[in-house]
Amino acid sequence: MKSGQLQINELRNVLNEHFHWHKTRLDCFVSMLLELLAVNTVNLTQLAVAFPGRALIFFAS
């Protein structure tokens, strides 16, 4: 297992002690939290671009 994935699992376990959420919800929260730290913004459009995946990004004008 990669060191980064190990850290993500550790963060998930720590947060689970406080929130007691379903694994899927906790995984989503951990992903958003880490990406917020990476992009230094709360702009959801910029945050969506940082997520890996095939979702299309549409910018409203």
Distance CA 35, CA 31 (A): 6
Tokens, residue 48: 């969506």
| Buried-state track 16-43, b at ≥16 Cβ within 10 A, e below 16 | eeeeeeeeeebeeebbeeebeeeeeeee
Residue 12's identity, in one-letter code, is: R
12-33 pLDDT tens trace: 999 999 999 999 999 889 988 8
8 Å CB contact between 57 and 49 = yes
What is the pTM assigned to this prediction? 0.61
- Specify the pLDDT at position 34: 85
